[in-house]
Structure 1
Amino acid sequence: MEEQKQKKNWRERLKHTYRLVIMNEETFEDVASYRLSLLNVYVLLSSIIVLVTIGVVLFIVLTPAKRLIPGYGEANALPELVEMNRELDSLEAALQAQRIYTDHFRRMLAGEVETVQDIQNEPVEFPDSALDIQRIPEDEEIRREVSLAELQTTPVNNELISRSADLPLEQMYFTAPIRGEISSRFDLDKKHFGIDVLAPKDSPIKAALPGRVISASWNSDTGFTIIIQHANNVVTEYKHNSALLKETGDFVKAGEAVAIIGNTGEQTNGTHLHFELWHNGQAVNPEKYISFH
């Protein structure tokens, strides 16, 4: 009986109406008044809480804020992590290849290039997986055809250089880069991969063949150096110049001036041209194919 009375009193209190009056403090004038009950206040507060809860849930679901919840983004981010990992591996491989290329290029400019004797004496190790791989004749033929296709033509000043693989150097026409007295001859044993030609100061250095400049730079050993790639896998180098007339990427014709003779770099003792001729990656004696007199 007592419990029923308490419940009844509680319900009556919820429904009991109160008046909320807002007054002006100075004039005591009623500004606004509201009739409220505990039930109305309870319903209002409950509605506000529900709306705020719904808003928070929608904000988390429909915005990237859900990624901040611990454990939520792990499964969804897995494909992105795999893709990022793959791109990182590709960048590392490209960086390593660039480092190897730069190192080999630096060694070539400095004259620290492996000769045939060095390569023959150097032991070659293959991974276990490579020991079982054998090239078949058809594979070699395909490789040769691809190489020929890549070396067919190269534009030079809107002209075409005809490329012929395996063409003997004796059948190629070279232009003397400069004419003068040879002060130092080609000597593989002393790692002197070219010849030194004396000539008057400010004499122009000419391209021995038509081709493309693959390097035009300065280094402490050989000074201003220019390197040109030609057809038939031929490369010529011109070192110790006082100035370069061409830039990397330029196309030149045979006999076109590419530099001015000089005495730059530490490995020099007078005005001269150090000229190197490379064929299929091997240094050859320029005097066998070019007359410098």
Structure 2
Amino acid sequence: MSEKRLKRQHLKKRFLNKNRLVLLNENTFEEILSFKLNLLNVVGGTLTLFFMLIVSTVILMVFTPMKEFIPGYSSTELKENAIELSFKVDSLEQVISKNERYLASLQKVLTGDVAVSKSAIDSLNKVQDLEEQLEQIKPSEKDLKLRELVRLEDKYNVFKEASPKVNSVLFAPLKGSIVKKYDVANKHYALDIASPINTPIKAITKGMVLFSDWTPKDGYSIILLHEEGLISVYKHASSLTKSQGDQVKSGEVIALTGGGIEDSSHFHFELWKDSNPLDPTLFIDFQ
């Protein structure tokens, strides 16, 4: 027991034994500064300094921009920018998808690969069945007179009673004789107009150029988008004066005739609205 007590006393004396730290001038040995220290003061001071260093480092990292230099740490601004970019990329993907579908539809228009909608076929079938039923009924003499009267009224008042699908005034792209008419039964959704080579082709109304380029089948072709979703297609051109994205005015020259691959002797014109073909002669006078 005495030895353990002596060791404790020796250790306590060692920690509490005061020492003097003196700073002397090397040349004159003059005392500049002196401190009275013991081992306990040195250990306590070192631990206090180390603790203050840790606390200051944590405060510096938490409340200053230096925390962004820590590997794996993402700032709030960086996260907000990443979320915003993610939304923009998603929106761009949707726009690209819509443009791809739209271009695919335009390609079908150029190649003539257009399917007649089932609703239109059903409507035609219903009309045909109704006509067959009416033919089986023998009308009376009064009925025949009434039908003739109604036929004459409809002949001269059709545009007063019916509302056209196209509300704009449309101008002829060029004047000439029609060599091939619009024919849904033979899937010819256009007019072929005879015209001399290098005849100016004009826009039927104001709009924007959707497509303007050369195609292997139809030579130089141009497609215009007009108001109310109306689309006009011009094919068999020898040259184009407008590029994709250009704005055109009514009657402005957009191309010259005479460049079709299969047949360059005529000009090919199509009119579309809401993905459905229209007979151009119902809205435009080509004579």
- 3-state SS in 1 of match to 2:114: coil
Task: Tell me the CA shift for residue 274 of structure 1.
Answer: 1.2
- 1:216–1:246 CA contact under 8 A, matched in 2: no
Q: Which amino acid aligns with 1:211?
A: K
Deviations 1:145-186 (A, max 9, x none): xxxxxxxxxxxxxxxxxxxxx842699754321233444433
- Specify the alignment match of 1:106 in structure 2: 107
Q: Structure 2: how far apart are the matches of 1:41 and 1:215?
A: 84
- 3-state SS in 2 of match to 1:175: coil
Match of 1:10 among 15, 23, 31: 15
- 3-state SS in 1 of match to 2:16: helix
Q: Where do 1:139-178 residues align within 5 Å? A: 167-168=163-164, 174-178=170-174
Cα 1:6–1:228 change in 2 (3 A) is closer
- 2:239–2:259 CA contact under 8 A, matched in 1: no
- 3-state SS in 2 of match to 1:202: coil
- Specify the alignment match of 1:45 in structure 2: 46
Give 1 or 2: higher helix fraction.
2
Task: Tell me the CA shift for residue 29 of structure 1.
Answer: 8.8
- 1:177–1:205 CA contact under 8 A, matched in 2: yes
Q: Which amino acid aligns with 2:210?
A: S
Structure 1 vs Structure 2 CA RMSD: 4.2
* Percentage of pairs with the same residue: 26
Q: Which amino acid aligns with 1:218?
A: D
* TM-score normalised according to structure 1 size: 0.60
- 1:263–1:272 CA contact under 8 A, matched in 2: no
Task: Tell me the CA shift for residue 86 of structure 1.
Answer: 6.0
Deviations 1:1-21 (A, max 9, x none): 412243123310xx3124467
- 3-state SS in 2 of match to 1:242: strand
Match of 1:258 among 244, 254, 258: 254
Match of 1:201 among 197, 200, 215: 197
Q: Structure 2: how far apart are the matches of 1:60 and 1:171?
A: 69
Q: Where do 1:205-284 residues align within 5 Å? A: 205-208=201-204, 210-221=205-216, 222-231=218-227, 233-247=229-243, 248-253=245-250, 255-263=251-259, 266=261, 268-284=262-278
- Specify the alignment match of 2:126 in structure 1: none
Deviations 1:26-58 (A, max 9, x none): xx8989976464556445533431232022211
Structure 2 gap ranges (5+): 123-161
Q: Structure 1: how far apart are the matches of 2:172 and 2:183?
A: 20
* TM-score normalised according to structure 2 size: 0.62
Cα 1:90–1:229 change in 2 (3 A) is closer
Q: Structure 2: how far apart are the matches of 1:119 and 1:244?
A: 35
Structure 1 gap ranges (5+): 122-165
Q: Structure 2: how far apart are the matches of 1:246 and 1:85?
A: 37
